C-alpha cells in the first residue's frame, strides 16, 4: 500500500503557482486577485475561507474577503457580485457554499461572470468541461487528477468508479476521468447493488459524504482508493472510505485529513492565476 501525500503534492502545486506569480510581479504587473464571499457564520465554511485567504497570501495572490450577515438578502449579494464582475482588478470570485436558505445558490452561481468563475461552477464552464475545452478546472476533481498523475497512476482504459453525483465533485470528476480515457461509472444513493459495482473499480473515488461507507468487501485487490469525504465523527475527521479496513487491499490510498483536502485550494490558486493570464492575454 502506498499512501498518497496530499499535503506534499499540494505544496508542490502551490509552489509552481507562486513561482509564476513572482515572475509576473517582477515585471511590474499587479498581482492576481481573488474575492471570497462568505454569507453567515457556518464554522466549517469559516475554516475554508480562512484557509483560502492564507493560501492566497502564501502564493502572492491578493485576497479580498467579504463577510456578509447570515440574514443578508439575495439581492444584496447579487449586487456585490455585479460590482466585483465589473472590477478590472478582480480576477476570481468565489461564494462559499452552502449559502443560507433565503439565497438561491443557482442564481448566485449564474451571476458570477464565467470569466471570473474560479470554482468552475457556472453552466458555461461546466459545458466547456464536458465538451473537452475547459478554462477553469473544477477544484476538487482536478486536485484528485493531480494526486493520480503525481502517483504515476495510469487512467486510460481503467475502470473508474465515482460514488456520489454532486455538481461540485461527482459529475465533474467523471468528466475529468473520461477526458483521460477512463471507463467511468458514476454511482449514487439509488444505485442497485453498489458493492458489485465498486468491486469493478481499478480507481475508486468516494464522494458521497457518508463516514466509512466504503468497506473492505466493496474494494478490489490492488485498487487505487481516493477519498473525497470529510466527515466529523465525534472529535475526529473521517473519510467516506473505511481507511483501516481498506488500506491493505489498496495499491494507493489517500488519508483523511491530508489527502484530497489540501488539493482543492491549490487548484483554486492555479485557477485564479489562469483567470489573470486570460485577462492579460498571457
Ligand atoms: N463548498 C464546498 N466546496 C466548495 C468549493 O469548492 N467552492 C465553494 N465556493 N464552496 C464550496
Instruction: For 109-137, write each residue's pLDDT tens digit.
Output: 999 999 999 999 999 999 999 999 999 99
What is d(CA 10, CA 19) in angstroms, rounded to the nearest whole number? 14
53, 63 Cβ separation under 8 angstroms: yes
Residue range 260-274, pLDDT digits in tens = 999 999 999 999 999
Mean pLDDT of the chain: 98
pLDDT at res. 239 = 98
Residue range 140-157, pLDDT digits in tens = 999 999 999 999 999 999
Q: Does the pTM of the predicted model rise above 0.95?
A: yes
Classify residue 159 as left (phi > 0), alpha (psi -120 to 50) or beta: beta
Classify residue 60 as left (phi > 0), alpha (psi -120 to 50) or beta: left
**For atom 2 of ligand 1, which residue has the closest CA?**
97
Q: Which three cell numbers stand for residue 181?
A: 480515457
Burial group, residue 54, by CB count within 10 angstroms (0-12, 13-18, 19+): exposed
Helix axes 139-150, 261-279, angle to 10 degrees: 110
Residue range 35-54, pLDDT digits in tens = 999 999 999 999 999 999 99
Separation of 97 CA from ligand 1 center, angstroms? Answer: 5
Which atom of ligand 1 lies closest to the CA of 98? 1
What is d(CA 17, CA 224) in angstroms, rounded to the nearest whole number? 27
Instruction: Work out the percent of the chain whose per-residue pLDDT is above 70.
Output: 100
Residue range 161-208, pLDDT digits in tens = 999 999 999 999 999 999 999 999 999 999 999 999 999 999 999 999
Separation of 69 CA from ligand 1 center, angstroms? Answer: 18
Which atom of ligand 1 lies closest to the CA of 119? 7
Separation of 178 CA from ligand 1 center, angstroms? Answer: 23
52 is catalytic: yes
pLDDT at res. 276 = 98
The verdict on the CB of residue 264 being under 6 Å from ligand 1 is yes
What is d(CA 103, CA 161) in angstroms, rounded to the nearest whole number? 33
> Which of the residues 91, 117, 119, 242 is marked catalytic?
119
pLDDT at res. 260 = 98
* 224: helix, strand or coil: strand
Separation of 249 CA from ligand 1 center, angstroms? Answer: 31
8 pLDDT band, cuts 50/70/90, is very high
96 is catalytic: yes
> Which of the residues 52, 116, 158, 220 is marked catalytic?
52
pLDDT at res. 124 = 98
pLDDT at res. 52 = 98
270 is catalytic: no
> Which of the residues 14, 96, 116, 117 is marked catalytic?
96
Amino acid at each position: 500500500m502506498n499512501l498518497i501525500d496530499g499535503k506534499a503534492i499540494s505544496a508542490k502545486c502551490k509552489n509552481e503557482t507562486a513561482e509564476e506569480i513572482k515572475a509576473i510581479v517582477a515585471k511590474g504587473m499587479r498581482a492576481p486577485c481573488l474575492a471570497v464571499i462568505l454569507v453567515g457564520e457556518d464554522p466549517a465554511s469559516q475554516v475554508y475561507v480562512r484557509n483560502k485567504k492564507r493560501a492566497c497570501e502564501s502564493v502572492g495572490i491578493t485576497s479580498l474577503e467579504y463577510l456578509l450577515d447570515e440574514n443578508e438578502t439575495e439581492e444584496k449579494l447579487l449586487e456585490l457580485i455585479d460590482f466585483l464582475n465589473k472590477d478590472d482588478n478582480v480576477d476570481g470570485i468565489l461564494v462559499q457554499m452552502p449559502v443560507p436558505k433565503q439565497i438561491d445558490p443557482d442564481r448566485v452561481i449564474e451571476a458570477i461572470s464565467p470569466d471570473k468563475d474560479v470554482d468552475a461552477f457556472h453552466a458555461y464552464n461546466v459545458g466547456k468541461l464536458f465538451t473537452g475545452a475547459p478554462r477553469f478546472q473544477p477544484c476538487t476533481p482536478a486536485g484528485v487528477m493531480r494526486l493520480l498523475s503525481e502517483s504515476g497512476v495510469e487512467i486510460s482504459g481503467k475502470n473508474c468508479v465515482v460514488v456520489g453525483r454532486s455538481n461540485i465533485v461527482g459529475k465533474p470528476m467523471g468528466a475529468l476521468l473520461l477526458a483521460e480515457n477512463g471507463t467511468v461509472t458514476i454511482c449514487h444513493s439509488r444505485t442497485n447493488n453498489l458493492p458489485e459495482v465498486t468491486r469493478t473499480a481499478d480507481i475508486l473515488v468516494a464522494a458521497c459524504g457518508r463516514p466509512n461507507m466504503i468497506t473492505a468487501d466493496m474494494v478490489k485487490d490492488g485498487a487505487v482508493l481516493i477519498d473525497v469525504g470529510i466527515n466529523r465523527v465525534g472529535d475526529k475527521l473521517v473519510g467516506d472510505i473505511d481507511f483501516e479496513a481498506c488500506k491493505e487491499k489498496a495499491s494507493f490510498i489517500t488519508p483523511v485529513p491530508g489527502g484530497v483536502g489540501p488539493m482543492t485550494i491549490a487548484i483554486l490558486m492555479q485557477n485564479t492565476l489562469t483567470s489573470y493570464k486570460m485577462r492579460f492575454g498571457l
